[in-house]
């Protein structure tokens, strides 16, 4: 980052001192507005600092002595001048900001719709054709992230299954909170092919800083082939399918498959083991136990996890899917 | 008044209940009065959040509030309103007694006020315990009959909830016929109800402590025509508590 | 300050209200309570809330003006009280309006995830 | 009779009585002021410790992002939460009003104490309880909600430390309310004869405006936190979406207080600025009435802009637009103040004392802090900048660079009055300079870091994200800043032994506190009540040399006492 770029004018595409590249149609408008406020502020700032420095030097006590010469103590005229002029600039800022905001809130009617479900600490993206991708914790999950076509307006409907999260793509200058219990929306039209970071910008607990994902912008053709591929599960083995479900359904938010206890117990090497429950009894982990753990988690609670209930997946997983998950868990032994 | 500040203490004309940093009794009284009014302002804002919650949920879910309000006992609410009004009246009278130096009557009026306050809390207690018994509680409480999933209602509550489902038509809709989203919001109504009345109840109890303290001071002979500030200010607080109830009553009990 | 007096010994402070007035105010309050209970049982076709609030506000004014001495007090104290009501009003209006605007997003979600309505 | 040279041996408020009880149970506003002062400084160091922990974690190369464990992340989350909460609730909100305000306000009014001295003591004791509850949270659990306590995270997903923290903030709220209440009544009812509203020092106007916010806004945070508490412990369901509640509603409640609260922080700082600029330019403040009225305007307007913290929270668009427009209205009175201060310098006789250096720094720092507020207030840009380091930089410029520097400047300004010693010299000036430089090094680079997209409350970042250089500068800068602050503190402490004895009026101020001796007698004024004049008519005092400081040009004689004139 070269300091001389501080004043560089907005450019499309390339990164500037202030901003990452402008990868959406809205970005340049945000940047232009930013630079407008920036130059007004810079001017005001320089004016007040220069005035302060000049007065300080010119009227320093060592120079002018103890008693200053007479000068006016107030002037209504000048008070009005220096209230009205900044106020006018502020009106301009508000007005352009307002217009940009309205645009950024009203997607074109033909926009492509994607549903994004956020949970601690990952995203699940549901496409209209049934394709599902995930993106989240880079340490354990290599989810594909959000894949979108270039030059097409995209509306993302946000929801959250637990706490507040926020969908933030700096390259698009787009941000919106995902609020549990309701839907919120964000839209943008990417105009540059490439990969851009997607951050969670609302604090959501321990791994808030790990709730990272990528937005992959691809050409329309690539997108169409990708989307068609993505719903094709037929070539997956039950284990692979289970693994995918494990990520997509958000199990990874609580369960590690690498032996580390998280919010829930680690699940590798579980199958066939004797598990101790809170009441001290032991059960063998078999297909039925796992099925029950998914459909009615509170029926048999594992020792040490009495206070953190697992969410029930009844109604969210069908029999095939459960079998796939069981196959996957088995494969972890 | 003498010219130096430090011999205030020796000034024979200086009333003994005039604090060292005030010049006159009038100034002291005015200051206290302003202080208590500013305090009442903070109290109003303290309650504001709950009134805002109330407005917000009621304006968006009027049918929920109308339904849920049926579970409140209007008769008890009305009696409590009158009890509280009576206590306000006796406290206002007590201020008059203090100003006129009628110590015995002052004591008596304070006592009646205290008894009314106790009565109010007693009725409140009866109301609350009914609700706890029936499980007509806020959303997250395990025993509420408004749990989103009727299957989750515990056995001991089932019986009561069957009663609420009475076919005689006391309630516009039986609990079990409500859809889950509606049930959930009924829970919110009770959340708001308990918070509002609970916070108000806490204020009543603080007021009772205040009254007891005032009675003790009355007994000691603290109050007279030039020194009744504590009674006056205590009364102002008490009236505010009454004021809030004046709004709570129709807002919670009288939704049609 | 204008009310700075120096004969601190025997000055008169406060305003004594006649007992008859207090009784009348109390009577008025009880009557208004009865009225509001009565109107509460009727169906006023959407006017229930305004009517109840008008009655409650009249009761509140009685308490403020007489029991709380505002009628005889320095007007500034009353202004403070009105100020608090004003701010609560602002608060209420802003939040109430806002919540109304985004209810649809909540209802859409509720229908899909919890069911009902 | 005018107090002349100071003699620390005579009886004054510091040595009038002795022992722990005589301080702890005192109702003397001056002692309470000092106790607040040192308690606040202590908490500042605690908060500063966590700040350094934040900065250390974020230094490039110190933590390996990919290998960071959950415990490390939790520790970071705890660090910024405690840092933010301590700095806001325990440091900056009580700093000027409770510490300096308590000390100076009654003396500026020429009275013996605030209207309700016992309530004042209660405020302090409540503050202590609140502080203890906060300290307790450090041991009870890993408080990690952010200072904003947003549900449903704070209610559903964290450990019980939230309970003590919220209780602490609740109690501190009452401390703040009672202080504000006390000041309002004192200013209304106890101004000395002759001091009309428009003869009141501007610091008092600022404190008065602050007090309005304190009494109107603080109760709302009180109830919001209380509701959060019952929500957490009893699952009431007002905020929790799973029970039909609305989490955005909590944000409304929170910011209804917390936005006005930022002016609780800055307004007193602005009051200090006005005093500093008038005194050290030895000139009546320019535009007295505009400055006074703009304080009140800020106080009132600050209540209708809170939604600018919620532009992406799910608040409705219409409301966002309204809040954005209203937000700018607060900026105008702030601008008026800045311009008037600068105009005060014009044709003045400017002395570069330590307090004035802080004052001049604030022009720079508040300029940047305030102007970057414009980027947030503007809807178009705010969406991108929200919850990035741009916000972090903005609020440190206004809170640290302006409010806190104002606090420190105020300490140096009134220090001679508090302890009868001068803390003036090369050392204290170096402290200011280093703080200024360090501060800019720390927080200037965080602006581009934010606009480049670095989200706040992140325990780390990948190297590929490209935030390394900003964070490097910030870490080094924070060390320089810490060093500067330590020097400032040291120069204050040093003066107890080595400082020159201060005359009653070392700087040439004409507000009433400079008419009483340094340190003041137990009841502030031996003559009663003091003469009131235009508080900024600098010609009333003249310089008499190092020993005597400034003295009234026409010392009044006792027989001209106002009280006697009135009686006549
Ligand atoms: C002392 C504290 C303080 C002060 C004084 C301010 C002052 C202002 N603040 Fe700031 N603010 C905070 C503390 C403060 N703020 C904090 C703590 C947060 C974050 C909280 C959190 O999320 O944790 C925050 C966040 C914050 C946000 C939300 C950002 C986000 O999260 O998305 C916004 C949005 O509008 C904002 C705006 C403003 C504005 C418009 C001012 C104005 O008052 C500034 C006015 C001043 C000037 C404008 C400068 C002087 C004027 C001139 C030199 C004249 C020329 C001017 C022009 C021509 C424009 N602030
Ligand atoms: C008044 C408030 C205040 C103050 C003073 C500070 C001071 C500092 N702050 Fe903080 N900060 C906040 C309020 C404040 N902050 C808030 C509200 C947040 C948001 C929290 C949240 O997200 O929830 C925040 C968050 C925050 C972050 C972002 C964390 C994140 O989002 O992940 C960072 C990162 O750099 C930071 C850094 C610093 C630094 C380096 C200082 C330095 O200035 C500190 C230097 C101080 C010392 C090292 C102590 C030394 C002091 C002395 C020796 C005493 C001197 C005494 C006298 C002269 C009398 N702060
Ligand atoms: Cu999800 Cu932060
Ligand atoms: Cu704000």
Name the nearest CA neighbour of D179 among D130, D215, D129: D215
- Asked whether the beta carbons of residue A183 and residue C109 sit closer than 8 angstroms, the reply is yes
Position B105 scores a pLDDT of: 92
Give, as one character, the DSSP assignment of residue A182: S
β-bridge mates for residue A149, sequence order: A218
User: Which positions ≥6 away from B33 have C-beta within 8 Å?
Assistant: B229, B232, B233, C73, C74, C77
Residues A224 and A121 in one domain: yes
Kindly list the residues from chain D whose CB atom is less than 8 angstroms away from the CB atom of residue C88.
Answer: none
**Residue where one domain finishes, among candidates A230, A262, A283:** A230
Provide mean pLDDT across the span B35-54. 95
Cα separations (Å) of B52 from B59, B67, B183? 10, 20, 21
Whole-number Å distance between alpha carbons of D511 and D201: 7
Instruction: Count structural domains, chain B.
Output: 1
Between residues A304 and A153, the one the model is more confident about? A153
Between residues A258 and C53, the one the model is more confident about? C53
CB burial class (10 A; 0-12, 13-18, 19+) of residue A234? Answer: exposed
Range of the domain at A83: 3-64+72-105
Position A6 scores a pLDDT of: 57
Provide mean pLDDT across the span A203-209. 91
Task: Tell me which of A182-196, A268-282, D68-82 is least confident.
Answer: A268-282
D386: its two tokens: 């929200």
**Residue where one domain finishes, among candidates A191, A210, A230:** A230
Residues A258 and A303 in one domain: yes
Kindly list the residues from chain B whose CB atom is less than 8 angstroms away from the CB atom of residue C13.
Answer: 25-26, 29, 226
Q: Can you tell me which atom of ligand 2 is nearest the CA of D148? A: 23
A1: its two tokens: 């980052």
- Asked whether the beta carbons of residue D378 and residue A52 sit closer than 8 angstroms, the reply is no
Residue B178 lies in a domain: yes
Question: Residue D457 Cα, ligand 2 centroid: separation in angstroms?
Answer: 13
Whole-number Å distance between alpha carbons of D130 and A40: 43
Rounded-to-5 percentages of helix, strand, coil across chain A: 40, 20, 40
Position B138 scores a pLDDT of: 84
Residue of B nearest to C103 (CA): B60
User: Which positions ≥6 away from A17 have C-beta within 8 Å?
Assistant: A1, A2, A3, A5, A6, A7, A8, D448
Question: Residue B166 Cα, ligand 2 centroid: separation in angstroms?
Answer: 61
Closest CB to A82: pick one of D247, D339, D379. D339
Is D101 touching ligand 2 by the criterion CB < 6 Å?
no
User: Closest Cα to atom 1, ligand 3: which residue?
Assistant: A165
Kindly list the residues from chain C whose CB atom is less than 8 angstroms away from the CB atom of residue D567.
Answer: 6
Rounded-to-5 percentages of helix, strand, coil across chain B: 75, 0, 25
* ipTM, interface predicted TM-score of the complex: 0.89
Q: How many CB pairs under 8 A join A and D?
A: 269
Question: Residue D309 Cα, ligand 4 centroid: separation in angstroms?
Answer: 6
Test mutation, C95, C104, C113, chain D, max D CBs within 10 A: C95
Output the average pLDDT for chain B: 85
Position C99 scores a pLDDT of: 92
Instruction: Count structural domains, chain A.
Output: 3
Is D363 touching ligand 1 by the criterion CB < 6 Å?
no
Question: In 10 A of CB D48, how many CB atoms?
Answer: 19
Split at pLDDT 50, 70, 90, the class of C1 is very low
Please determine, for residue C2, whether its predicted confidence score (pLDDT) is greater than 50. Answer: no
Residue of C nearest to A185 (CA): C105
Within B61-73, residue ranges assigned H as helices are 62-69
Angle at which helix B155-164 crosses helix B103-134, to 10 degrees, equals: 100
- pLDDT, tens digit only, all 568 positions of chain D: 344 445 677 788 888 888 888 899 999 999 999 999 999 999 999 999 999 999 999 999 888 888 888 889 999 999 999 999 999 999 999 999 999 999 999 999 988 889 999 999 999 999 999 999 999 999 988 899 999 999 899 987 667 889 999 999 999 999 999 999 999 999 999 988 888 899 999 999 999 999 999 999 999 999 999 999 999 888 888 998 888 899 999 999 999 999 999 999 999 999 999 999 999 999 999 999 999 999 999 999 999 999 999 999 999 999 999 999 999 999 999 999 999 999 999 999 999 999 999 999 999 999 999 999 999 999 999 999 999 999 999 999 999 999 999 999 999 999 999 999 999 989 999 999 999 999 999 999 999 999 999 999 999 888 888 899 999 999 999 999 999 999 999 999 999 988 888 888 899 888 988 988 888 888 887 665 567 778 888 888 888 887 788 888 766 554 344 444 344 3
Whole-number Å distance between alpha carbons of B244 and B238: 10
Between residues B227 and B173, the one the model is more confident about? B227
Contact of A176 with A101, CB cutoff 8 Å:
no
Position A255 scores a pLDDT of: 82
The domains of chain D, with CATH numbers, are 25-567 (1.20.210.10)
**Residue where one domain finishes, among candidates A80, A105, A130:** A105
Position A7 scores a pLDDT of: 58
Burial A169-195 (b: 16+ CB within 10 A, else e): bbbbbbbbbbbbbbbbbbbbbbbbeee
Contact of B82 with C33, CB cutoff 8 Å:
yes
Whole-number Å distance between alpha carbons of C99 and B51: 14
Test mutation, D320, D455, D470, D546, chain A, max A CBs within 10 A: D455
Taking ligand 4, which is a single-atom ion, which protein residues have CB atoms under 5 Å away?
D 259
β-bridge mates for residue A135, sequence order: A123
Whole-number Å distance between alpha carbons of D511 and D516: 10
Test mutation, B35, B43, B254, B255, chain C, max C CBs within 10 A: B254
**Each residue's pLDDT tens digit, B129-157:** 988 887 788 876 766 777 766 666 666 66
Return the H-helix or E-strand segment holding B85.
Answer: helix B74-100
Cα distance from N-terminal residue to C-terminal residue, chain A: 49
Residues A148 and A257 in one domain: no
Question: In 10 A of CB A143, how many CB atoms?
Answer: 23
Task: Tell me which of A75-89, A95-109, A134-148, B90-104 is least confident.
Answer: A134-148
**Each residue's pLDDT tens digit, C41-84:** 877 777 888 899 999 999 999 999 999 988 888 889 899 999 99
Closest CB to A69: pick one of D343, D347, D458. D347
User: Which of helix, strand or coil describes residue C3?
Assistant: coil
pTM, entire model: 0.89
Q: Which of residues 339-378 of D touch C (CB under 8 A)?
A: none
Q: Can you tell me which atom of ligand 3 is nearest the CA of A200? A: 2
Whole-number Å distance between alpha carbons of B109 and B93: 7
Contact of D113 with D122, CB cutoff 8 Å:
no
Return the H-helix or E-strand segment holding A283.
Answer: strand A282-284
Q: Which of residues 44-63 of A touch D (CB under 8 A)?
A: 44-45, 48-49, 51-52, 55-56, 59-61
Residue B114 lies in a domain: yes
Position D2 scores a pLDDT of: 42
Position D528 scores a pLDDT of: 57
Residue of B nearest to D245 (CA): B188
Assign residue B85 the CATH number of its domain.
1.20.120.80
Question: Residue D373 Cα, ligand 1 centroid: separation in angstroms?
Answer: 4
User: Which positions ≥6 away from D525 have C-beta within 8 Å?
Assistant: B5, D107, D110, D112, D515, D516
Q: How many CB pairs under 8 A join B and C?
A: 179
Q: What share of chain A has pLDDT > 70, as a percent?
A: 91
Rounded-to-5 percentages of helix, strand, coil across chain D: 70, 0, 30
Whole-number Å distance between alpha carbons of D474 and D4: 48
Q: Phi-psi region for residue A173, left (φ > 0), alpha (ψ -120 to 50) or beta?
A: left
Question: Residue A176 Cα, ligand 3 centroid: separation in angstroms?
Answer: 12
CA distance C57 to chain D (A): 22
Split at pLDDT 50, 70, 90, the class of B184 is confident
Range of the domain at B169: 54-253
Contact of D217 with D252, CB cutoff 8 Å:
no
Angle at which helix B74-100 crosses helix C19-41, to 10 degrees, equals: 170
Provide mean pLDDT across the span A193-198. 91
Ligand 3-lining residues (CB < 6 angstroms): A 121, 165, 200, 202-204, 208, 211
Whole-number Å distance between alpha carbons of D560 and D423: 35
- Asked whether the beta carbons of residue C88 and residue B45 sit closer than 8 angstroms, the reply is yes
Q: Can you tell me which atom of ligand 2 is nearest the CA of D485? A: 55
Is D32 touching ligand 1 by the criterion CB < 6 Å?
no
Kindly list the residues from chain C whose CB atom is less than 8 angstroms away from the CB atom of residue D246.
Answer: 99, 106
CB burial class (10 A; 0-12, 13-18, 19+) of residue D110? Answer: buried
Provide mean pLDDT across the span B220-229. 84
- Asked whether the beta carbons of residue A102 and residue D374 sit closer than 8 angstroms, the reply is no
User: Closest Cα to atom 60, ligand 1: which residue?
Assistant: D373
Test mutation, A182, A311, A312, A315, chain C, max C CBs within 10 A: A182
Position C116 scores a pLDDT of: 56
In this complex, is the C-beta atom of C111 within 8 Å of any C-beta atom belonging to chain D?
no
Closest-approaching ligand to the CA atom of A206: 3
Residues A208 and A125 in one domain: yes
Q: Can you tell me which atom of ligand 2 is nearest the CA of D403? A: 1
Question: Residue C87 Cα, ligand 4 centroid: separation in angstroms?
Answer: 18
Closest CB to B29: pick one of C9, C14, C19. C14
Assign residue A284 the CATH number of its domain.
1.10.760.10
Angle at which helix D117-140 crosses helix D161-189, to 10 degrees, equals: 160
Closest-approaching ligand to the CA atom of D76: 2
Name the nearest CA neighbour of D203 among D103, D313, D303, D282: D103
Contact of A129 with A227, CB cutoff 8 Å:
yes
CA distance B190 to chain D (A): 8
CA distance A184 to chain C (A): 7
Cα separations (Å) of D47 from A205, B54, D79, D85? 21, 38, 9, 8
User: Which of helix, strand or coil describes residue A126?
Assistant: strand
In this complex, is the C-beta atom of C7 within 8 Å of any C-beta atom belonging to chain D?
no
- Asked whether the beta carbons of residue D566 and residue C6 sit closer than 8 angstroms, the reply is yes
Residue B6 lies in a domain: no
Split at pLDDT 50, 70, 90, the class of A136 is low
Residue of C nearest to A182 (CA): C106
């Amino acid at each position: 980052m070269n300091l001389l770029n501080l004043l560089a004018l907005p450019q499309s595409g390339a990164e500037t001192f202030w901003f990452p590249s402008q990868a959406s149609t809205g970005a340049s408008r945000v940047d232009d507005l930013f630079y407008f406020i920036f130059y007004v502020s810079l001017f005001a700032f320089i004016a007040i600092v220069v005035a302060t420095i000049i007065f300080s030097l010119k009227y320093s006590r060592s120079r002018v002595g103890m008693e200053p010469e007479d000068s006016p103590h107030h002037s209504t005229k000048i008070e009005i001048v220096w209230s009205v002029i900044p106020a006018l600039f502020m009106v301009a800022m508000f007005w352009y900001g307002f217009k940009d905001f309205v645009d950024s809130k009203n997607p074109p009617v033909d926009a492509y719709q994607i549903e994004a479900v956020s949970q601690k600490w990952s995203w699940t993206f549901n496409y209209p054709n049934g394709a599902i991708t995930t993106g989240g914790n880079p340490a354990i999950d290599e989810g594909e992230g959000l894949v979108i076509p270039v030059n097409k307006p995209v509306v993302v409907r946000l929801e959250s299954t637990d706490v507040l999260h926020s969908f933030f793509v700096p390259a698009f200058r787009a941000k919106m909170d995902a609020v549990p219990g309701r839907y919120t929306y964000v839209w943008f039209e990417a105009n540059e092919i490439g990969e851009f970071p997607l951050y969670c910008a609302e604090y959501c607990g321990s791994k808030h800083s790990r709730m990272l994902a990528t937005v992959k912008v691809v050409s329309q053709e690539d997108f169409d082939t990708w989307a068609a591929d993505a719903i094709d599960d037929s070539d997956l083995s039950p284990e692979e399918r289970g693994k995918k479900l494990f990520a997509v359904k958000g199990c990874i938010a609580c369960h590690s498959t690498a032996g580390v206890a998280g919010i829930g117990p680690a699940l590798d090497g579980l199958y066939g083991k004797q598990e101790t429950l809170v009441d001290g009894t032991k059960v063998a982990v078999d297909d039925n136990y796992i099925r029950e753990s998914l459909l009615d988690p509170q029926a048999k609670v594992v020792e040490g996890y009495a206070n953190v209930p697992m969410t029930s997946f009844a109604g969210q997983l069908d029999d095939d899917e459960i079998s796939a998950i069981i196959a996957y868990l088995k494969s972890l032994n | 008044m003498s010219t130096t500040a430090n011999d205030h203490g020796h000034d024979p004309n200086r009333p003994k209940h005039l604090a060292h940093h005030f010049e006159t009794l009038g100034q002291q009284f005015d200051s206290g009065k302003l202080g208590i009014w500013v305090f009442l302002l903070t109290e109003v804002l303290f309650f504001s959040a709950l009134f805002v919650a109330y407005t917000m949920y009621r304006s968006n879910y009027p049918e929920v509030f109308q339904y849920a309000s049926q579970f409140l006992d209007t008769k008890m609410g009305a009696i409590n309103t009158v009890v509280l009004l009576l206590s306000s009246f006796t406290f206002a009278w007590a201020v008059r007694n203090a100003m006129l130096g009628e110590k015995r009557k002052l004591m008596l009026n304070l006592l009646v006020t205290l008894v009314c306050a106790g009565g109010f809390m007693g009725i409140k207690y009866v109301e609350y315990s009914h609700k706890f018994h029936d499980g007509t509680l806020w959303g997250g409480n395990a025993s509420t009959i408004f749990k989103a999933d009727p299957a989750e209602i515990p056995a001991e509550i089932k019986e009561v909830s069957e009663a609420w489902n009475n076919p005689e038509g006391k309630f516009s809709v039986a609990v079990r016929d409500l859809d889950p989203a509606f049930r959930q919001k009924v829970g919110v109504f009770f959340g708001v109800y308990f918070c509002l009345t609970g916070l108000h109840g806490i204020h009543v109890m603080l007021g009772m402590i205040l009254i007891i303290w005032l009675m003790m001071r009355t007994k000691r002979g603290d109050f007279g025509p030039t020194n009744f500030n504590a009674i006056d200010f205590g009364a102002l607080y008490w009236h505010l508590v009454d004021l809030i109830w004046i709004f709570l009553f129709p807002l919670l009990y009288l939704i049609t | 300050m204008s009310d700075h007096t120096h004969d601190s010994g025997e000055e008169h402070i406060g305003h004594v209200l006649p007992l008859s007035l207090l009784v009348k105010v109390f009577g008025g309050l009880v009557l208004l309570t009865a009225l509001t209970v009565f109107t509460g049982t009727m169906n006023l076709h959407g006017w229930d809330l305004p009517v109840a609030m008008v009655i409650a506000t009249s009761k509140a004014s009685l308490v403020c003006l007489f029991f709380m001495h505002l009628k005889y007090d320095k007007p500034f104290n009353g202004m403070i009280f009105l100020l608090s009501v004003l701010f609560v009003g602002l608060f209420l209006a802003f939040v109430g309006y806002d919540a109304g605007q985004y209810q649809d997003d909540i209802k859409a979600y509720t229908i899909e995830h919890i069911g009902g309505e | 009779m005018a107090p002349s040279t100071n003699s620390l041996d005579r009886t004054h408020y510091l040595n009038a009585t002795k022992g722990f009880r005589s301080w702890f149970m005192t109702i003397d506003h001056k002692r309470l002021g000092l106790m607040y002062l040192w308690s606040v400084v202590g908490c500042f160091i605690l908060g500063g410790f966590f700040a350094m922990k934040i900065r250390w974690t974020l230094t490039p190369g110190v933590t390996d992002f990919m290998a960071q464990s959950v415990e490390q992340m939790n520790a970071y989350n705890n660090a910024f939460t405690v840092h933010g909460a301590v700095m806001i609730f325990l440091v900056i909100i009580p700093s000027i009003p409770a510490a300096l305000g308590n000390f100076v306000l009654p003396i500026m009014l020429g009275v013996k104490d605030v209207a309700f001295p016992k309530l004042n003591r209660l405020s302090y004791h409540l503050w202590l309880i609140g502080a203890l509850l906060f300290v307790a949270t450090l041991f009870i659990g890993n408080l990690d909600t952010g200072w904003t306590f947003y549900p449903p995270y704070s209610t559903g997903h964290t450990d019980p430390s939230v309970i003590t923290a919220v209780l602490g903030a609740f109690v501190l709220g009452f401390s703040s309310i009672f202080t504000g209440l006390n000041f309002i009544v004192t200013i209304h009812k106890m101004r000395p004869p002759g001091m009309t509203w428009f003869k009141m020092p501007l610091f008092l106007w600022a404190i008065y405006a602050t007090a309005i916010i304190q009494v109107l806004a603080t109760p709302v945070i009180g109830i919001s936190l209380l509701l959060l508490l019952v929500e957490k412990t009893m699952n009431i369901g007002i905020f929790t979406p799973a029970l039909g509640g609305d989490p955005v509603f909590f944000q409304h409640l929170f910011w209804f207080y917390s936005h006005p609260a930022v002016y609780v922080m800055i307004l007193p700082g602005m009051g200090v600025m006005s005093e500093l600029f008038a005194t050290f330019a030895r000139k009546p403040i320019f535009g007295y009435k505009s400055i006074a009225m703009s304080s009140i305007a800020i106080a009132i307007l600050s209540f209708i802009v809170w939604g600018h913290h919620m532009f992406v929270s799910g608040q409705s668009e219409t409301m966002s637009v309204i809040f954005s427009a209203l937000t700018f209205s607060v900026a105008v009175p702030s601008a008026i103040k800045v311009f008037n201060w600068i105009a005060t310098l014009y044709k003045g006789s400017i002395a570069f004392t330590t307090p004035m250096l802080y004052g001049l720094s604030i022009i720079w720092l508040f300029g940047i802090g305030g102007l970057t507020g414009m980027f947030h207030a503007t809807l178009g840009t705010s969406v991108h900048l929200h919850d990035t380091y741009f916000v972090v930089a903005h609020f440190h410029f206004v809170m640290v660079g302006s409010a806190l520097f104002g606090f420190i400047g105020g300490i140096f300004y009134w220090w001679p009055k508090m302890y009868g010693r001068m803390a003036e010299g090369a050392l204290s000036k170096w402290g200011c300079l280093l703080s200024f430089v360090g501060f800019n090094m720390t927080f200037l680079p965080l602006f581009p870091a934010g606009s480049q997209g670095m989200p706040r409350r992140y325990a780390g970042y990948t190297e590929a994200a490209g935030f390394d250089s900003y964070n490097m500068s910030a870490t080094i800068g924070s060390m320089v800043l810490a060093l500067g602050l330590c020097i400032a503190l040291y120069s204050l402490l040093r003066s107890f032994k080595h400082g020159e004895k201060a005359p009653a009026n070392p700087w040439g101020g004409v507000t009433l506190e400079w008419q009483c001796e340094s340190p003041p007698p137990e009841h502030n004024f031996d003559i009663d009540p003091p003469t009131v004049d235009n508080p900024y008519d600098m010609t009333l005092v003249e310089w008499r040399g190092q020993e005597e400081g400034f003295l009234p040009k026409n010392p009044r004689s006792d027989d001209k006492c106002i009280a006697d004139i009135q009686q006549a």
